[in-house]
């Protein structure tokens, strides 16, 4: 097909420990200490093809298996301590993207892109991207760009924890960032 590319496997270990204040009241504050241990297995791939002297097509993606090995929440007050350990779990995420870049008359660049992200326990989102750049002089460019990015809420915010009243009891919405830039 005339594509050049690479495949990059990875393994990542991460720990998150986040102390938080759950509430304050007359009897004193209630603190949470959340601990989450993950192992990620992933593969990233991308390929590029020069369609002609002025245009390029890029395609790629990411696949990730998240192995949640330990998830515990500890609650502290002035007079008590409670601890809950949630069951280990596994979920997968993936993203696919494509980008098309085209030069017109050596002074105008069009860049179009789409990215689809999917989280097994959350759902998916399609994010468009567009950039227009005018090379008015060798030292002066004018650009207009629009882009969207998506991120699912983290696992411990998506997981309801009835013992401590923490986490989502219903569907959380995704985090979407939209940018329109003129430069």
Residue-wise pLDDT tens digits, 50-103: 999 999 999 999 999 999 888 888 888 878 888 888 888 899 999 999 999 999
Average confidence (pLDDT) over 121-125: 84
| Three-state secondary-structure class, residue 155 | helix
pLDDT, residue 92, reads: 93
Average pLDDT value over all residues in the chain: 87
Rounded to whole angstroms, the maximal C-alpha distance in the chain is 74
43 CB neighbour count, 10 Å cutoff:
14
Q: How far apart are CA 119 and CA 143, in angstroms?
A: 33
Q: Which residues of 121-158 are buried (b: 16+ CB within 10 A; e: fewer)?
A: ebeebebebebebebeeeeeeeeeeebbebebbebbee
pLDDT, residue 134, reads: 95
Q: How far apart are CA 87 and CA 84, in angstroms?
A: 10
Q: State percent of the chain over pLDDT 90.
A: 51
* Side-chain-side CA neighbours of residue 56 (13 Å): 10
Average confidence (pLDDT) over 94-119: 94
| Three-state secondary-structure class, residue 157 | helix
């Amino acid at each position: 097909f005339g594509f050049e590319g690479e495949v990059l496997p990875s393994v990542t270990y991460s720990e998150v420990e986040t102390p938080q204040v759950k509430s304050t009241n007359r009897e004193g504050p209630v603190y949470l200490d959340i601990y989450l241990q993950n192992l990620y297995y992933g593969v990233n791939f991308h390929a590029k093809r020069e369609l002609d002297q002025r245009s390029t097509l890029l395609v790629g993606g990411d696949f990730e298996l998240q192995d949640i090995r330990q998830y515990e929440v500890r609650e502290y007050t002035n007079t008590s301590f409670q601890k809950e350990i949630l069951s280990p779990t596994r979920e997968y995420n993936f993203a696919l993207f494509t980008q098309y870049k085209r030069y017109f008359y050596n002074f105008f660049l069009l860049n179009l892109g789409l990215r689809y992200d999917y989280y097994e326990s959350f759902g998916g989102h399609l994010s468009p991207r567009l950039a227009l750049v005018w090379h008015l002089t060798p030292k002066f460019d004018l650009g207009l760009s629009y882009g969207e990015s998506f991120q699912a809420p983290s696992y411990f915010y998506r997981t309801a924890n009835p013992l401590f009243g923490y986490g989502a009891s219903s569907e959380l919405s995704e985090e979407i960032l939209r940018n329109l830039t003129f430069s």
